[in-house]
């Protein structure tokens, strides 16, 4: 049986309509795919980072400029010692220990493997010397000795490390030791994430005195007999880099939490699980370069700049100048076009005596409603307490002045 197709004029019109609809649908689909590809391209990573995980942070605002696998739990190796450094700095700030305290190395501290300064049981070093060894050469024995001095034992210090991690909101971090070495028992070692290390590093740089150790390329101990060379090559080879901490184990790969400052802008960059030390340094350099290209320091107040006066109660002088303690800058994106607001908080009077440099107020700066910096206001000069007769004469003058007015 043969079937024959017969075309009628009405059917031909319907055919054209169906063809047009199909062409239109194809065009819509192609347009949607084009738009999606443009969006994907726009949201693509701005940097090619070969390390497994990375973060770039502007610490003043807390803005993350770049991240890659930032919340993945990873072994930190000796980057662990960032927390040791922080707890030591905080203990110094609280007056619980002193840089001049002498520590006698315990046999347990001297058994640490990996990077070390080869402490001998009973050998004495100061807190400053041990902290220098941790910061520059990542010494495991020095880290253990500091932990024992601060908390009495490594176990107690590890408890403090985890407590501080929770306070800082480090969601993916857990410590089992002070060194970052894999446990000899074979259990789980320290874990963290690049995002957590960014938060921790931001807290560490709030104690800028640590940079005098982490930013050193070459130093020594034991009266020059023990040579120290920084494990962070960028301290020497990247302009402005002054910290913070390297790490390496076979399991962790090559890790680095670094910070650098240029033209008043500080950046914090983290890479974890880099395949080698060369790529580790290259990736950090890429992150720094990108960050410094995006941000600029806007000077709002110069150090020593006067912003007002405060009346002095019972002082030989009636008032004291309030000046900014140091240069105050707003770290903002280079293309920022908004207005920077300045808020000065200062008392109406202060009691004598007043010492030069005494805090008498604070100044805040905000951009788009977000706080972007602050500085203390301090007394510019000394004001001694007035004698009884001076106070009496000041009172008479005030009364006469008010009467005349």
CATH class label, 302-388: mainly beta
Catalytic residue among 70, 78, 193, 281: 78
- Provide the percentage of residues in the chain whose pLDDT is more than 90: 74
Rounded mean pLDDT, 70-75: 98
Class of domain 53-296 (CATH, top level): alpha beta
Instruction: Give the pLDDT mean for 12-18.
Output: 45
Q: Quote the pLDDT of residue 348.
A: 87
Strand ranges of the sheet holding 265-274, from the earlier edge strand across to the other edge: 63-68, 53-58, 265-274, 253-262, 241-249
Q: What is the mean pLDDT of residues 249-272?
A: 97
Query: Does residue 51 have a pLDDT over 60?
Result: yes
Q: Using one digit for the tens of pLDDT, what is the confidence trace for 149-163?
A: 999 999 999 999 999
Calculate the average pLDDT of the chain.
88
Region of 73 please: left (phi>0), alpha (psi -120 to 50) or beta: beta
Q: Quick one: pLDDT band at residue 19, thresholds 50, 70, 90?
A: very low
How far is residue 370's CA from residue 279's CA, in Å, rounded to a whole number? 36
Catalytic choice (51, 70, 106, 138): 138
Instruction: For CATH 2.60.410.10, list the domain ranges present in the chain.
Output: 302-388
Q: What's the pLDDT at 381?
A: 94
Locate CATH 3.40.710.10 in the chain: 53-296
pLDDT for 394 equals: 65
Label residue 28 left, alpha or beta by phi (over 0 means left) and psi (-120 to 50 means alpha): alpha
Closest Cα to residue 219, out of 126, 86, 129? 129
> Could you confirm whether 138 is annotated as catalytic?
yes
pLDDT of residue 325: 94
| Active-site residue identified among 51, 70, 81, 261 | 81
Mean pLDDT of 204-227: 96
Question: First-to-last CA distance in the chain?
Answer: 124
Supply the pLDDT for residue 16.
42
Beta bridge partners of 261: 266
pLDDT of amino acid 369:
87
| 70 carries an active-site annotation | no
CB under 8 Å to 286, separation ≥6 — which residues? 47, 48, 49
pLDDT > 60? residue 30: no
pLDDT band at 399 (very low <50, low <70, confident <90, very high): low
Q: What is the pLDDT of residue 403?
A: 54
Question: Distance of CA 115 to CAs 54, 112, 186, 307, Å?
Answer: 24, 8, 20, 51
pLDDT given for residue 373 in this prediction = 87
**pLDDT of 53 over the 90 cut:** yes
pLDDT in tens, 85-135: 999 999 999 999 999 999 999 999 999 989 999 999 999 999 999 999 999
Q: 225, 258 in Cβ contact below 8 A?
A: no
Cis peptide upstream of residue 381 (ω within 30 degrees of 0): no
Confidence of residue 225 (pLDDT cuts 50, 70, 90): very high
Catalytic, 348? Answer no
Q: Is the predicted pLDDT of residue 37 greater than 70, yes or no?
A: no
pLDDT digits (tens, 9 = 90+) for 348-393: 889 999 999 999 999 999 998 888 888 999 999 999 988 877 676 6
- Higher pLDDT: 13 or 101? It is 101
| Rounded-to-integer distance, Cα 75 and Cα 72, Å | 10
18 has pLDDT over 60? no
pLDDT of 2 > 50? The answer is no
Q: Residue 401: its pLDDT value, please?
A: 59
């Amino acid at each position: 049986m043969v079937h024959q197709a017969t075309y009628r004029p009405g059917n031909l019109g319907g055919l054209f309509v169906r063809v047009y609809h199909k062409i239109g649908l194809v065009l819509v689909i192609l347009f949607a795919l084009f738009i999606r590809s443009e969006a994907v391209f726009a949201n693509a990573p701005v940097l090619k980072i070969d390390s497994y995980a990375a973060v770039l942070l502007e610490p003043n605002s807390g803005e993350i400029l770049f991240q890659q696998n930032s919340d993945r739990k990873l072994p930190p190796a000796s980057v662990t010692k960032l927390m040791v450094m922080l707890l030591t700095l905080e203990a110094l700030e609280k007056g619980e220990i002193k840089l001049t305290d002498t520590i006698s190395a315990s046999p347990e501290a001297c058994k640490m493997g990996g990077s070390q300064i080869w402490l001998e049981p009973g050998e004495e070093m100061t807190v400053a010397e041990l902290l220098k060894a941790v910061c520059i050469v990542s010494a495991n024995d020095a880290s253990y000795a500091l932990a024992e001095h601060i908390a009495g034992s490594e176990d107690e210090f590890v408890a403090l490390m985890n407590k501080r991690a929770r306070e800082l909101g480090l969601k993916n971090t857990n410590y089992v030791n002070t060194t970052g070495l894999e446990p000899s028992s074979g259990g789980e070692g320290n874990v963290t994430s690049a995002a957590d290390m960014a938060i921790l590093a931001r807290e560490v740089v709030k104690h800028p005195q640590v940079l005098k150790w982490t930013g050193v390329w070459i130093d020594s101990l034991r009266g020059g007999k023990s040579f120290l060379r920084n494990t962070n090559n960028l301290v020497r080879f990247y302009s402005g880099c002054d910290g913070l901490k390297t790490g390496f184990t076979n399991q962790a790969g090559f890790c680095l939490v670094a910070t650098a400052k240029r033209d008043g802008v500080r950046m914090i960059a983290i890479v974890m699980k880099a395949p080698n030390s060369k790529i580790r340094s290259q990736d950090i350099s890429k992150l720094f370069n990108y960050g410094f290209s995006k941000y600029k320091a806007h000077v709002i107040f110069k150090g020593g700049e006067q912003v007002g006066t405060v009346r002095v109660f019972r002082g030989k002088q009636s008032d004291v100048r309030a000046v900014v303690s140091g240069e105050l800058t707003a770290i903002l994106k280079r293309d920022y076009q908004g207005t920077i607001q300045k808020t000065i908080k200062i008392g109406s009077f202060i009691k004598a005596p007043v010492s030069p440099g005494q805090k008498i107020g604070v100044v805040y700066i905000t951009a788009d409603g977000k706080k972007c910096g602050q500085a203390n206001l301090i007394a510019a000069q000394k004001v001694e307490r007035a004698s009884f007769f001076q106070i009496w004469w000041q009172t008479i003058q005030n009364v006469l002045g008010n009467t005349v007015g």
